[in-house]
Structure 1
Amino acid sequence: MEQLQDSTILSPGHKDVTAGPCLQTAGCRNVAPVLNRVGDKWSMMIVMTLSDGSKRFSELKRAIDGISQRMLTLSLRGLERDGMVSRTVTPTIPPRVDYELTELGRSLREPVKALGDWAIKHIDCIRSAQRRFDEREDAA
């Protein structure tokens, strides 16, 4: 059990919403690895590529421009470990390995699409801000 600063004892699964920053800090520590995974460029490209159905490793590699074999392997393993992607091996010669989104992975499609739409909508503004910043840094 976890004891908070105000002596409130929490049993597993119980959250005291009145505990203030103490829980928020623990929550941040718990959420940070998940945000690192779902915020990773390659992981999101894999999620979007798999959003229309299962794919073999080589299909993913061809569909995701610029990803190395090693990075694809590492990203798929991380997504599989986090429960967002399933890996199915069919015992043929050579073995066939297919990757597809799990229910949890499919639930990411909407927020990832929304983030992509936001980036497309604001890319000119972002690039303009980057130019202004770079010009200011160059002048200094």
Structure 2
Amino acid sequence: MNSSYSHKTIQPDISLSICGYSKVLEIVSNKWTALVVYAMEDGVIRYGEIRRRIEGISKKMLTQTLRQLERNGLVKRVITPSVPPIVEYSLTGLGESLLEPMRTLNQWTKENYSLVEQARENYDRDNSGE
């Protein structure tokens, strides 16, 4: 038995409402968010080019994702008056600072996702009779 265990009521020390980490995960954990950020990692890009680069993203989802990123200070939108207007997007400094942790997670995925898949297969096989 753990000697530090106490019979007192333990207060939660992890909270979705006040934990900054969980709030940031809420922003960046959407699959489209990560892909849109990656699409902008080389600099200024137009809406149509982002859409062409990301397989399977709808216009509605791309628009919602860009608005969310802009609202959270990760993306800058510039409209150049013309007919039709030219709309360009780029990462802000804050958005660019997100690239390194995303690259680290991407590298972890490349190195470990096959192990995750194997664990799932093992779990499903071992628990198929429950």
Within 1, Cα distance between the matches of 2:64 and 2:13?
31
Query: Corresponding residue for 2:25?
Result: 35
Correspondence for 2:74 among 84, 87, 99: 84
Within 2, Cα distance between the matches of 1:109 and 1:55?
16
1:73 to 2:63 alignment = yes
Query: Corresponding residue for 2:51?
Result: 61
Unaligned runs of at least 5 residues, structure 2: 1-10
Within 2, Cα distance between the matches of 1:23 and 1:120?
32
Question: CA 1:24/1:136 → structure 2, altered by over 3 Å: closer, same or farther?
Answer: closer
* Count of residue correspondences: 119
Question: CA 1:86/1:129 → structure 2, altered by over 3 Å: closer, same or farther?
Answer: same
Within 1, Cα distance between the matches of 2:127 and 2:81?
57
Report the Cα offset of residue 66 of structure 1. Answer: 1.2
Report the Cα offset of residue 41 of structure 1. Answer: 1.0
1:114 to 2:104 alignment = yes
Report the Cα offset of residue 22 of structure 1. Answer: 7.8
Within 1, Cα distance between the matches of 2:46 and 2:127?
45
Within 2, Cα distance between the matches of 1:137 and 1:92?
61
The alignment's C-alpha RMSD in Å is 1.8
Query: Identity of aligned pairs, percent?
Result: 38
Report the Cα offset of residue 24 of structure 1. Answer: 5.6
Within 2, Cα distance between the matches of 1:72 and 1:53?
17
Per-residue deviation, residues 7-45 of structure 1 (Å, max 9, x unmatched): xxxxxxxxxxxxxx78864531x4433211111111111
TM-score (norm 1): 0.78
1:125 to 2:115 alignment = yes
TM-score (norm 2): 0.83
Report the Cα offset of residue 72 of structure 1. Answer: 0.6
Report the Cα offset of residue 104 of structure 1. Answer: 0.2
Unaligned runs of at least 5 residues, structure 1: 1-20
Report the Cα offset of residue 138 of structure 1. Answer: 2.9
